[in-house]
Structure 1
Amino acid sequence: MKDNDLLFDLDDEAIEKLAQEFPVLTDEEKERIYAMSERKYNITEDTNTGFNSETEVSGVDVYKRPKWRTASIAASLALLIGAGSFGGYNIAKQFSNGDNNDPDVPTTVSEDMSQALTEVSEDPRTEECRKTAEALLDEYNDFITPYIEEELPESPDYPEYELTDEQYESMSEEEIEAYNIEHEKLCRQIDEEYSKYFDNIWYDVRSNSYPYSTSEIQYGYWSYQYYSSGMKFKNTDEVMSKALSFMSQSLIDKQFPDLIGEELTNYEPNRIYDHDNEDYPDFGTYAMYNGKLYCSSLGCDNEGNDHINSTYKFYKYKNEPAEIYDITDDSFTAVVKYEFTNIPNKYDMSMKVVNRDGKWIIDDIEPTGPELDRQKLDVIDKMMNSVDLYDKISAKSASLYKIPDDSPAKVKDHSILFNILYADNRAARSCRYGYYGDRYNGSDDISDLAEYAKKTIDSDHERENEDYCDGEKYYYWHNPTDLDGDDSNGKEYEWYDWNNYFYRDSDADKYKGFEALRLNSHHEINNYERSTYKPVLCPNGQELATSYLYELNKWDITGDINFEGRDCYIIEGVRPDAEYNYDPNYEGLDVVNFKLYIDKETGIPMVTMTYLKNGDINEVEMYFDVKFNDKAEPVPEQDMSWFDTSWENYK
């Protein structure tokens, strides 16, 4: 081999293997790469002179290996890519990384090859696909906004109620009544006039037969609006025609499952329907009523713009070029960049675009994001299921709250709230004692706080409230309310709140854990059903996971610690919704950062610390004297036989 050959340290067998494993490019492709390299290095026939082995000495003797001239770079580049683009790139990377102990191999070799490979691998249809994807995205965004805002009727201007306090006090009852009648008359006239341009109807579906419930269960509330101008569609046929012009039917069913509702004309509006005993319509986003199209179920983006409801929601479009992948003759995938979606840890919209009958349409949409950290997911999984321990753990806890320095409150040190939790594998009982004892004014060190809490807690102190769960029902009482006014019958405290949201194994299909979380436009989790969550008399890892840990890029596992005999992970991070809920009225007082001690075995939070924007501690919650299973302190007996849970008492 020649000394100036890039493959000088490979034998013939290795080169032959490279040639077999990596297909040779066509002459046209090699010519294009060579031409690009020629332009890159300004190669001419006059400069194609091979090596220059001269060395320069200045001050000290420094030996330099011979440097390659640009013509040799281009020729070797073409040779390498001819042997296989991936293989050639890897060999060049070895040189540039110094694997051959040559510090003078120019790094531009690998950079140039990367550019050349990009030119070779980029499909010439990429830019056209990008334009198609962005045009379809424009149609999608136009479709989810149901109104043309500038064409909507102006809101009515109602007369102000102009009576001042002085006028009101100086008028007789008859004069006040006459003024109110006249004012209401003017408002009704305006409503009647405005009704020509706008109408609102609503339907409320409830049930009052849910067992052990002290209130009605609302299954849904639908409010529909009609505008005489500014609506993009006149009827449901137009809605579907528009949807099918740029989406597949399967995507409509997935992304807008309730797009078209049942005709509402035969259902009386503006009243409550009995879920168990009355027929009510199959509601949808759009529905016809008395020959007019009404729109319902509107949400809004974080700019406050109305949009129709959808399964997946995408917030804060980044206005970056779509990334294009998997191009074929009749399909491709486009990834559109957003700041976040309604699915935690999924930041982008991935669109599957297909060609149907000569027309490009969106066939599927998914929120996508980076591969998630497995250790973090394992920690979250334990935290989400830590409430299974509600009847298997006993503990004492303390919550310390520090008054901010710029608060108008006179006392600036810590106030402390105590709880004691009992469990014995059949029931659980939690007692809250409220704030008592001397206010803590020591250091913010967690060990000092823990010592103060353990020294101050008093199980004989008067209780403020109590939770009790016997495995079937969940009760709560608050002191000092008397249930029936008779303080001699043993019912001195009011017991209420039932098992209508108690989690049982039979409800497992409702509980989907971390994957079921959804965000709103303010980056908060607020739309899960209370009925799917378990009672949390034990340390609540689930609440922390759904409040602070649902965005994995906002926190890290920063270490380990043994706290109160339990091996814990130290987790530190930033509240994921902090930047979306900024309130200038609370400058420096927003809770931004947090630190957690999470028990490695069970996922329960041993310590939770929150910090203000200015770095001060806001609140500390800690658990100590934690015992599990047979070692847990048994539940003090609580006789609830007198408490009638039958529904008949509440009719």
Structure 2
Amino acid sequence: MKEKEIFDKLVNAEDDTMDILTDMCPEITDAELDRLLAVTERKYKMKKKDKDRAEKDNDITMSENEVSGVERVRRPAWLTPIATAASVVLVAGIVLGSVIMLNRQAKSGNGSGVDQPAVTATTADTTEITTTATGTSVTNTASTTQTTTETTAETTLYTTVPFVAPAAEDIYVDNELGDIALELFKEYDEIDLLRNAAGVEVDTQDGLRFAADPEVEIRSTCYDTHQGEKGIAYYIHVTDSRFSCLEDIRRYLRSVLSEGLYERLFGDSMASGFDELEQNEVLDKEHMKQWIEYRGKLYQYCPYGGWEKLPVVFSDSYPVIIADKTETSCTAYFPEWYIEVDNVENCVCMEVKLILDPEFNDWRIDNVQQFEGRHYGELYDMLNS
């Protein structure tokens, strides 16, 4: 009954109530949202498993008001909290996930106003999923008349790309290369902050205000009032010692990313060459990017709403596993947890592909995928056996 009341309140909530809920909820990436829901589902299954085991051990069958078994007895008092806890965990995860998604849509105004690269993943059965700032569309390319919201690739909360394990004879531990892969990934994780206009020092007293291109529906944050405003593109002066121009940003990103991955993630995120434009005039779509150079200074777009990141942790107990190494490429696998190190079955298996970048003659990340923790466990067992 209480669960039903929770959903009824959400369904019947007024707009201002939902605004309050979404404003209170932190902005997280799609990957983090998937992991959050995965943890919720896992905890629900664990608690439900405890309840089912208790029923089996006591030779009883649960019903709403009574139990049955060898003889009719009352429901044991200690089973109710277990069942309730499992339900509450699941409901809380669904509600929190829903609020986060509402938050993301409300605070982005159907897009931050900054062109975000579309990310397309194609599964084995040619089901194509395209994700943009305004949502996700799924099209089954096997039939031009059919649209579906399901994929038939490996079922996983982390990715639509099926996990392909390397051959047992091709995996090993290389401490030096493993350290390189892990450190590059940690910097890659920090780059997510830049993608969401966070992690950069700025001067809150020095900003720009342009009218947004009418073709772009945006809602950005005023640097004076910190309130969201529609139809205005606000930018704020970057004072971070690492970045004084667009080339500094590119150089920093390329210290971690391959040229190909840089182009996919940030290739259309910078603009310059409009110094003649006065403030309050219309900034056209082609120049409305995440970072701009304007009259000799570097500015960063001010998206509406805050953005937070779940802390990521690693464990020295589980090595970075190297696979498919050539003279110019390799793949690294390692476990990752959120907030605290847990059982390896509850980790996220990270697959990081590295290439030897010819521009720098050094290793760079060329692709990152995340899979269920059991896949790292499988590789770890293969390595030890």
The answer to whether the superposition gives a TM-score over 0.5 is no
TM-score range, shorter chain: 0.3 to 0.5
Where relative contact order (Cα < 8 A, 6+ residues apart) is larger, the structure is 2
Q: Give the TM-score normalised by structure 2.
A: 0.38
Q: More helix per residue: 1 or 2?
A: 2
Q: Give the TM-score normalised by structure 1.
A: 0.24
Larger radius of gyration: 1
